[in-house]
Structure 1
Amino acid sequence: MPAASQPLLGRLLRTKPVEQLSSDGEHSALRRSLGLLPLIALSVGATLGTGIFVVLGAAAPKAGPAVVVSFVLAALAALFSALSYAELAGAVPVSGSAYSYTYATLGELVAWICGWCLLLEYGVSVAAVAVGWSGYLNAFLDSTIGWHLPAALSNAPGVAGGVVNLPAAVVVLLATAVLLGGVRESAAVTTVTTLLKVAVLVFFVVVAVFGFRTQNLTPFAPAGLAGITGAASVVFFSFIGFDAASTAGEEARNPQRDLPRAIIISLVVVTLAYVLVAFTAVGAVGVDTLGRSNASLATVLAKVTGAGWPATVLAAGAVIAIASVVLTVLYGQTRILVAMSRDRLVPPVFARVGRRRVPTVNTLVVGGIVAVLAALVPLGQLAEATSIGTLVAFGLVNVGVLVLRRTKPGLRRSFRTPLVPFVPLLGLALCVLLVLGLAPVTWLAFGIWSVVGLVIYFSYGARRSALNERPSTTTPDS
């Protein structure tokens, strides 16, 4: 039966064959130029800095000193999901990340929902990090030349006299320009800035530990478990770096071997860094001080040392390092759109590759939209909106591992998630726990975003899907 003439439910549940996904990856117009080290740098670069440089100050007041536990809880949820990601990345090494994995396991409608959540996750997280970058830029300018941008040009509307966050928009546009130069050049920039970022955080821990006071850790959890899970929900988006690595499936030289390794290694590195920095920061100045600045780590060093130069060093490193997060996460979003466009669920222009073998129009459109978000939306709202999209996508990946184990038991897997079904089920349960800790306004925004996505799918994607041209269709139970 032609796919387009099947009943509506059958079309919504049809899956894209794993063999077709693999074929798309093998014949991709994107350039395969990334080895293991650039993939790790991409993954760490997309993650390390997001939660520590930017969101620690927003999360600490929610949980108190127990924000350290919030990072551990978020890391556990990320770990279980990362193990599921690693299996699917090795089995289905294509650009679409969780979107492609759910298309192969849970059907077209769920894949669309997942892809739509990923667009929210990536786009809003880039904007959130850009806002944090703006705060560190002002801290750097203030400590070096005694001048900073006025609030009207460095804050979003509604935040301390803000009109437009100009630096946040500028860093997004600069990252867009780098991406247009080619993936190999972007990877080189990412590797250098990631090494710098690690060095800056090591410097922070060494200095902050001298100001550590145990009294800053009491009361440890003033808001109890609700505060810990609420803060974990906010910082969870800080762990999306390994998801960014999985979007490079069509540009990795040996994706089945290197993607699972890059995902696991990067998560371990990032979790250790987050816990160490959060613990020393809270112990040095307490949660109240952290919550009063977008450049919270620079504030810690200034208070601990009583001198300006440590904060200047950290702010300078952060200005460069956080820019790499903007670059790598923006990269991930464009590659997800490539996969969705190739499946014709979004217009084909998003998959069109230019002479440098990068999706030129795609990159320009994404960069422009994210720059507007960064300029006009406050940090706290951006962080929570990112978390809900991330948690939904990660939950679907955990389900996808279980489904693919059942439907394709003989599929070649370069990495196998241990203790199936327990690890994917724990990953799913933790995602549900964290998503329930998000604020009602975040749920409202997510509901509106989802409705808009469904309207686009039924009015455009479902009618033009590449699966409509196939002579038969499969479902998750086939």
Structure 2
Amino acid sequence: MKEKHAVPEQPPALRRSLKLWQVIVLGLGYLTPLTVFDTYGIVTQETDGHVPTAYLLALAAMLFTASSYGKMVRAFPVAGSAYSYTRQTINPYLGFLVGWVSLLDYVFLPIVNVLLGKIYLSAAFPAVPDWILGLAIAAVSTAVNLRSINATANFNTFLVAFQVAVVTIFTGLAISRISGGAGGSDPFAFTPFYDANMTFPTLMAGAAILCFSFLGFDAVTTYTEETIQPMKNIPRGIFLVALLGGVIFITASYFTQLAFPNIKQFANPDSPSPEMSLLLGGALFQSIFLAGSVTAALASGIASHTSASRLLFAMGRENVLPRSIFGYIHPRLGIPVVNVLLIGVCSLSALFLDLETVLAFINFGALTAFTAVNVSVIAYYFIRKRQRSLPDVFRYLLSPLIGASFVAFLWFNLDSHSLTLGIIWALLGIGYLLVATRGFREKPPVIEFEEAI
């Protein structure tokens, strides 16, 4: 009799079907175009009326890190993002810790979007209890993510398109206000970008705040295993999400700055957008603007829900988290359905947490991922692969170092609350790793990236 050889078990795989435009839509949904108005009041005061210039600096900083993400995608086209890159290029223990801390960004962003959506809906429906509104937002996000990745991307397309329409209308009304002389300037004045009173320290302080508006381009990498031609489309998607987001932010803030050069006229200068929308388009446009804000929270919640479930899947497939739970793929839908449900349950913590705490976790997780990816480029290409020609020195050493330098500046500006909570979470991860690896005597399992292509 011939001996039968066992067929090696294939790792669970996500279904590859996303096109480039769908990747961009998911990234923009995560990025949230309307967030330009959430930070506008604070940054206007911080920069003395030069928000567009602060956005230019933030965009330049983020594009260097976006470039590093693109380089790593070409080398390791898997769903784990910074977690997978660090494991493969530096050290599996460090990779686990990066993944553990990155969970703060990926898991807490769905929570913050439930919180924001609840706040916006409460303004429209004050008689409805907060917990019902929060539950409704979490339920919708989970239900959308329980469909195929294509269906999720297509649904988010409508939400992103509505946001862009609201930003466009707002900008058009601002131009009309400027043309009518209400802003005291002309529609093409250069003062929002530069004047004699502008100082570099205040611009950098504003840019440090605005860099967090770009959270989302990195999440594109979590769709790698579900994207057609990922080594071409994911790097393009990363760059285009950051660039398109930057163009929207700079354009909207420029005309808003000209239309409202003095925000001290508003009752709430830190958050003047509801009052500005009322002045620009009356009660009708204010209602549309509020609907856009709710839509923004939902779109970002859906996209971040998707990304978080894929990061958990990558960690589950490698058995860093229990594979039977986190590494499961639904045979018909081709999605990590258990992870989707778990993120949905986690997002309900928005009913008990406050916005400051959730944002603190997100900021720490995002900066950890940004730092790890820039360092991974140097470790893989410049050190391991020894790609050290003159062009390679810029691509694989100087460019990620510039990106890491900007991220270091953001670390310096991170508030103590974020640092404290982030360090506590990191210490919990180290404790879990000690137990899981028997005091570092066993290495965390590593999946070869070719298996996931």
- TM bucket by the smaller chain? 0.7 to 0.9
Identify the range of structure 1 (449-458 vs 47-56) with the bigger mean alpha-carbon deviation.
Answer: 47-56
Q: Name the residue aligned to 1:337.
A: 312
Aligned to 1:108: 92
Distance in 2 between residues matched to 1:329 and 1:221, nearest whole Å: 41
Is 1:134 aligned to 2:134, yes or no?
Answer: no
Q: Which amino acid aligns with 1:312?
A: S
Answering whether residue 81 of structure 2 is matched by residue 97 of structure 1, we say: yes
Distance verdict in 2 for CA 1:124–1:410, change over 3 Å: same
Q: Cα–Cα, structure 1 residues 226 and 148, in superposed 2: closer, same or farther, change >3 Å? A: farther
Q: 1:178-257 alignment to 2 at 5 Å? A: 178-212=144-178, 213=183, 228-257=203-232
- Report the equivalent of 1:299: 275
2:451 maps to what in 1?
Answer: none
C-alpha contact 1:135 1:295 (8 A) present in aligned 2 = no
* Deviation per residue, 1:115-138 (Å, 9 max, x gap): 122211122223223333233334
| Counterpart secondary structure, 2:232 | helix
Find the counterpart in structure 2 of residue 370 from structure 1. 347
Percent identity, aligned pairs only, is 24
What are the within-5 Å matches in structure 2 for residues 149-164 of structure 1?
A: 149=127, 153-154=129-130
Distance 2:171 2:120 in 1: 18
Q: Which residue of 1 aligns with 2:133?
A: 167
CA distance in 2, matches of 1:130, 1:118: 19
Shift in alpha-carbon separation, 1:65–1:256, aligned structure 2, 3 A: same
Deviation at 1:231, TM superposition (A): 4.1
Going from structure 1 to structure 2, the CA distance change for 1:468 and 1:204 (only over 3 Å counts) comes to: closer
Q: Within the alignment, does 1:74 sit opposite 2:52 as a pair? A: no
* TM, length-normalised to structure 2: 0.83
CA pair 49-383 structure 1, distance change in 2 beyond 3 A? farther
- Partner SS state of residue 396, structure 2: coil
CA distance in 2, matches of 1:94, 1:336: 10
Q: Aligned pair in 2 of structure 1 residues 66, 456: CA closer, same or farther (>3 Å)? A: farther
Amino acid of the residue matched to residue 259 of structure 2?
A
Verify the 8 A CA contact 1:101 1:400 in the aligned structure 2: yes
* 1:404 shift after superposition: 0.9
Deviations 1:124-170 (A, max 9, x none): 2232233332333344x3xxxxx5347xx44xxxxxxxxx6x53443
Matched, 1:268 2:243: yes
Structure-1-length-normalised TM-score = 0.79
Task: Give the Cα–Cα distance (whole angstroms) in 2 for the partners of residues 254 and 188 of structure 1.
Answer: 19
Find the partner of 1:382 among 347, 358, 370. Answer: 358
What does residue 42 of structure 1 align with? Answer: 26
Corresponding position of 1:3: none
Cα 1:35/1:217, change in 2 over 3 Å: closer
Q: Distance in 2 between matches of 1:401 and 1:224?
A: 33
**Would the alpha carbon gap of residues 403 and 364 (structure 1) be closer, same or farther in structure 2, given more than 3 Å must change?**
same
Cα distance in 2 between the residues matched to 1:217 and 1:180: 44
C-alpha contact 1:127 1:371 (8 A) present in aligned 2 = yes
**1:441 corresponding residue in structure 2:** 417
Task: Using the TM superposition, give the Cα deviation of residue 245 of structure 1 relative to its aligned residue in structure 2, in angstroms.
Answer: 1.0
Q: Flag the 1:465–1:174 CA change in 2: closer, same or farther, 3 A.
A: farther
Post-superposition shift, 1:294?
A: 9.1
Q: Distance in 2 between matches of 1:316 and 1:221?
A: 39
Mark the CA change 1:202 to 1:456 in structure 2 (over 3 Å): closer, same or farther. same
The alpha carbon displacement at 1:49 in A equals 3.1
The corresponding residue for 1:176 is: 142
Cα displacement (A) at 1:308: 0.7
Distance (whole Å) between structure 2 residues aligned to residue 138 and residue 293 of structure 1: 21
Deviations 1:306-354 (A, max 9, x none): x111112222233224311110011111111111112222222111122
Deviations along 1:255-282, one digit per CA (max 9) or x if unpaired, are: 1111111111111100011122223334
Higher mean C-alpha deviation, range 106-115 or range 126-135: 126-135
How far apart are 1:394 and its partner, in Å?
0.6
Deviates more, 1:30-39 or 1:450-459: 450-459
RMSD over aligned Cα atoms: 3.4
Mark the CA change 1:250 to 1:419 in structure 2 (over 3 Å): closer, same or farther: closer
Once residues 289 and 106 of structure 2 are traced to their aligned partners in structure 1, the CA distance between those partners, rounded to angstroms, is 26
Q: What residue is the counterpart of 1:88 in the other structure?
A: 72
Matched, 1:452 2:435: no
Give, in whole Å, the separation in 2 of the partners of 1:180 and 1:290. Answer: 43
- Quick one: structure 1 residues 384 and 284, their matched pair in 2 at CA, closer, same or farther if it must change by over 3 Å? farther
CA gap of 1:362–1:400, structure 2 versus 1, over 3 A, is: same
Which residue of the partner structure matches residue 188 of structure 2?
Answer: none
**SS of alignment partner, residue 334 of structure 2:** coil
1: distance between equivalents of 2:14 and 2:293?
31
Paired residues of 2:39 and 2:271 also in contact (CA < 8 A): no
CA contact (8 A) 1:64 1:223 kept: yes
Check the 8 A contact 1:53/1:318 in 2, yes or no.
no
Greater shift, 346-355 or 393-402, is seen at: 346-355
* CA distance in structure 2 between the aligned counterparts of 1:304 and 1:270, rounded to whole angstroms: 23
- Distance change in 2, residues 1:406/1:167 (3 Å): same
| Alpha-carbon distance in structure 2 between the residues aligned to 1:134 and 1:96 | 30
Q: Indicate how the Cα distance of structure 1 residues 398 and 195 shifts in structure 2: closer, same or farther if over 3 A, else same.
A: same
One-letter amino acid of the counterpart of residue 316, structure 1: A
CA distance 1:236–1:62, shift in 2 (3 Å)? same
1:350-374 deviations in whole A, cap 9, x for unaligned?
11122422212211112211221x2
Distance 1:193 1:289, change over 3 A: farther
- CA drift of 1:254 comes to 1.1
CA change 1:210–1:417 in 2 (3 A) is: farther
